[in-house]
Structure 1
């Protein structure tokens, strides 16, 4: 009797455990949408992505999809998953956006790129790419209600690019390459901002120890003190 009871309990545990992994399919669009929203509310974006995929796969023409796509874009942005946010925004623009929705989505794409730059000195390419997107947005939507925010992000990015170029120029000077320094100081100067009024960001000590402050670094001793042939030629031509 005890043996039969143990077998029954074990079978019940196994069945209940497997029940959690049963794949759901062929559900109404409202079901997947509600599941997705609940998962987003709980912060479980992995589940939310899965429910969104089910909604999109089973109900490709559902009116819920446009709103669901925007919800997923904003949810990933809120969780600092900016590449995924851009993916959903691109999907929204491509498939669902009306003119007003497209403008908002394009603005959010700029915001996602901007927020992906907590340390601008580490990604020169992303700064330039974001500034190009801003130029396109300004040309496409000159009277946009989002323009003050776009201008604010543009100003911060221009300042970041100017500071980064100056850091690179100083590095070239330390390497004895004046032409390289001159080149980076000539890239897209921010003529509408007085450089004397710029207050550079304070780098925390734990980052400064490894990255330096732009004028020197802990690895300065590794940089050759002798000038290379190109540097010598540069000096001769001056």
Structure 2
């Protein structure tokens, strides 16, 4: 029992030490300013490599504020976007991608950046029964992507996401149609059944979404 208590105290002390070290490093950076662009860029990479994304965001702010026209900015934006995607922080990823698109729309790799934005939205779907508007918006974004970048090497990946989004949309419309059938509203049910046909060729191919049991009572009859 005593050994366990000592071990717990040891772990607590080590954890507290790491926290104080991180806070000290952050405090030091707050006092830093007027550094070369490469300094901020390398510091951002260092924070990402050690898993401190919030600190990396802060460092990028310093880089962008002090060196707005630095050639390192586009690369920094893409690195941060990818880091946040890997960390499943899709809204933050989109923030950096939107900034890139706004500032560097004529970049030669803009098709890659637009692909990343579609990917971030696609991965960000928590449940297609809740993200109706995001599905619609992303499908529109994919159509625009096809028109602008029909020869992009990322097109096969975009097409795969597009097919899965259409299946999700059809699944959603099918859920709504089934609900209207249960409450005896045949006209509304028929309307959504037609939407299912518009979204997907064969409704029998639509795969139901696998849902954790703890979510089922809350999600299944959301409409």
TM-score range, shorter chain: 0.7 to 0.9
Per-residue CA distance 1:90-127 (angstroms, 9 max, x = gap) = 11122235443211111111101100113212211111
Are the aligned partners of 2:77 and 2:100 in contact in 1 as well (CA < 8 Å)?
yes
Q: Determine the structure 2 residue equivalent to 1:169.
A: 177
The verdict on how the C-alpha distance between 1:20 and 1:42 changes in structure 2, with shifts beyond 3 A counting, is closer
Per-residue CA distance 1:54-73 (angstroms, 9 max, x = gap) = 00001111111111111111
Match of 1:93 among 81, 101, 118: 101
Q: Determine the structure 2 residue equivalent to 1:189.
A: 197
Q: Determine the structure 1 residue equivalent to 2:84.
A: 76
Once residues 20 and 126 of structure 1 are traced to their aligned partners in structure 2, the CA distance between those partners, rounded to angstroms, is 36
Are the aligned partners of 2:90 and 2:121 in contact in 1 as well (CA < 8 Å)?
yes
Q: CA deviation at 1:186?
A: 2.2
Structure 2, unpaired ranges of 5+: 1-22
Once residues 151 and 171 of structure 2 are traced to their aligned partners in structure 1, the CA distance between those partners, rounded to angstroms, is 30
Say which is worse superposed, 95-104 or 135-144, in terms of deviation.
95-104
Q: CA RMSD in A?
A: 2.3
The verdict on how the C-alpha distance between 1:128 and 1:193 changes in structure 2, with shifts beyond 3 A counting, is same
1:29 has 2:32 as partner: no
1:47 has 2:55 as partner: yes
TM-score (norm 2): 0.81
Once residues 151 and 19 of structure 1 are traced to their aligned partners in structure 2, the CA distance between those partners, rounded to angstroms, is 45
Q: Determine the structure 2 residue equivalent to 1:141.
A: 149
Once residues 192 and 172 of structure 1 are traced to their aligned partners in structure 2, the CA distance between those partners, rounded to angstroms, is 20
Q: Determine the structure 2 residue equivalent to 1:204.
A: 212
Once residues 215 and 196 of structure 2 are traced to their aligned partners in structure 1, the CA distance between those partners, rounded to angstroms, is 27
Once residues 188 and 176 of structure 1 are traced to their aligned partners in structure 2, the CA distance between those partners, rounded to angstroms, is 19
Report SS of the residue matched to 2:109: helix
Q: CA deviation at 1:81?
A: 1.2
Report SS of the residue matched to 1:122: coil
Report SS of the residue matched to 1:37: helix
Structure 1, unpaired ranges of 5+: 1-16, 224-238
Q: CA deviation at 1:205?
A: 2.1
Once residues 37 and 99 of structure 1 are traced to their aligned partners in structure 2, the CA distance between those partners, rounded to angstroms, is 22
Are the aligned partners of 2:146 and 2:155 in contact in 1 as well (CA < 8 Å)?
yes
TM-score (norm 1): 0.76
1:66 has 2:85 as partner: no
